[in-house]
Amino acid sequence: MSYRLVKITSYYKDFLSYYYNNTPKVEGLNYEQQHAHLMKQRFAWSDAYVFAFNQMWYDAHEIVANARPLQQQWCRENNVKAGTDKEVLVAQLKCLKPDVIWLQDSYSFNGDFIRFLKRQIPSIKLAIGNCCSPISPQYYSDFKVFDLITVCAPYFKTLLESNGLPECIIVPHAFDARILDEVKGVKKNKYDFLFTGSLILDQNFHKERIQLLEELIKEKVDINLLINLNTKSSKGLAVRQAAFVASRLFKKSGLNVINKKIAGFNKVSRLEHYPQSSKVSKVLLKQIKEPVFAMDMFKEIAQSKIAFNIHGDIAKDFAANMRMYEVTGMGSCLLTDWKPDLDNYFSSDEVVSYQSIAEAKEKIGWLLDNPEELEAIAQKGQQRTLCEHTFERRAAIIDEAIRAKM
């Protein structure tokens, strides 16, 4: 039996700004053309899961709910008023009449909104949530609306299920092999060492990552840093701290309705801890270049001998970052922080791991001094990823869970 599945997500605002600023003419295309062009950027999961599901027995579709020019074009073509992201999404789902919806962005779409969708669109038999980033207990009740939740590491499965949330299935990240055919004309081994990614300052989310990068720079390790530095989270820190204190007072005083009704308080009241911010040294700031995203990022990885991965503090003892698969998939040598379960995904001759700054520095030097060994590790890592860590394999995990629920 074939199911119609719609995966719904939101893209990082920084990427969408980057994309539309660099490709202004795309807004003149029709919806189908715009959607195809956006998917071709291969940002995050892109349409990799939709492509994989469509190779099976699904009629699968991808919606990027916050890509406003794209969504507005859909509204024009379907004579629908271009309202909020959620209003447009409801209209699209009414047209598609899916059997299964998978909310990759479950922080924006959960709780009462999912209940509303099920009432408005009776065809929806299964609503799947997703969690692979820090989650506050304030979200637990809203996540209980899902019939199933995908998570990228055992940590999240244990956390959510132990707090009474629905069944969670572990679906590690993967690599989209189509990218290899789409990255053309790049110069291999242009850079020795690359770190591309984000530094989120709020809530000390990347505190360890910042410390390690600063130590490597102090040790004169030559790093090509293409970083999306989230300084916006620090600018309103004092306001958020005050709002956090006020929201707690509202709860204690029986005025929690204020937190629910006012968007700013609602968001801050969900925080588990008092808002704090990490700091970045001037030495590190001087080294940081403008970030790159999607296909531009994959080209940078392809040109690098070694690419660096370090998990956010939330990962605990689990190897869960998507960067592990992006780097190995592109054929670069992955240097990653060691996790107890790393060998579930890669062996020691497929990637290089470290447990301290000193060890990271030592292994960088050894790899650069031994190019043949570096290349052998990179090739074995790529072979493992292209064989085992594919979206087709991950989609099969989700398909089995869907069939058990339907």
Q: Examine the pLDDT at 201 and tell me if it is beyond 80.
A: no
Q: Across-strand partners of 102?
A: 7, 128
Distance between CA 138 and CA 332 in Å, rounded? 40
Distance between CA 51 and CA 33 in Å, rounded? 16
- Note whether 230 and 199 are within 8 A (CB): yes
Q: What is the mean pLDDT of residues 328-356?
A: 97
Predicted local confidence at residue 188, as pLDDT: 83
Domains observed in the chain = 3-174+390-405 (3.40.50), 178-233+277-388 (3.40.50.2000), 236-269 (no CATH)
pLDDT level of residue 342 (50, 70, 90 thresholds): very high
Q: Examine the pLDDT at 246 and tell me if it is beyond 50.
A: yes
Distance between CA 75 and CA 82 in Å, rounded? 6
pLDDT level of residue 228 (50, 70, 90 thresholds): confident
pLDDT level of residue 212 (50, 70, 90 thresholds): confident
Q: Examine the pLDDT at 378 and tell me if it is beyond 90.
A: yes
Q: What is the mean pLDDT of residues 146-170?
A: 96
Q: What is the pTM of this model?
A: 0.86
Cα–Cα distance list, 301 to 90, 176, 292, 323 (Å): 38, 14, 11, 10
More confident residue, 232 or 73: 73
Q: Examine the pLDDT at 237 and tell me if it is beyond 60.
A: no
Predicted local confidence at residue 312, as pLDDT: 74
Scan for tokens 């009432």, then name that residue. 119
- Note whether 162 and 137 are within 8 A (CB): no
pLDDT level of residue 403 (50, 70, 90 thresholds): very high
Q: Over the chain, what is the mean pLDDT?
A: 89
Cα–Cα distance list, 344 to 172, 209, 336 (Å): 11, 23, 14
Average the pLDDT over each of 37-51, 283-297, 373-387 and give the range with the smallest value. 283-297
Q: Examine the pLDDT at 259 and tell me if it is beyond 60.
A: no
Average the pLDDT over each of 115-129, 308-322, 354-368 and give the range with the smallest value. 308-322
Q: Tokens for 65, please give them.
A: 């709910």
Task: Report pLDDT digits (tens) over 74-85.
Answer: 999 999 999 999
More confident residue, 358 or 99: 99
Q: What is the mean pLDDT of residues 164-172?
A: 97
- Note whether 168 and 144 are within 8 A (CB): no
Q: Across-strand partners of 9?
A: 64
Cα–Cα distance list, 203 to 156, 195, 274, 302 (Å): 19, 22, 8, 32
pLDDT level of residue 234 (50, 70, 90 thresholds): very low
Predicted local confidence at residue 200, as pLDDT: 76
Predicted local confidence at residue 59, as pLDDT: 98
pLDDT level of residue 134 (50, 70, 90 thresholds): confident
Q: Examine the pLDDT at 365 and tell me if it is beyond 80.
A: yes
Predicted local confidence at residue 193, as pLDDT: 93
pLDDT level of residue 211 (50, 70, 90 thresholds): confident
pLDDT level of residue 278 (50, 70, 90 thresholds): low
Q: What is the mean pLDDT of residues 288-300?
A: 94
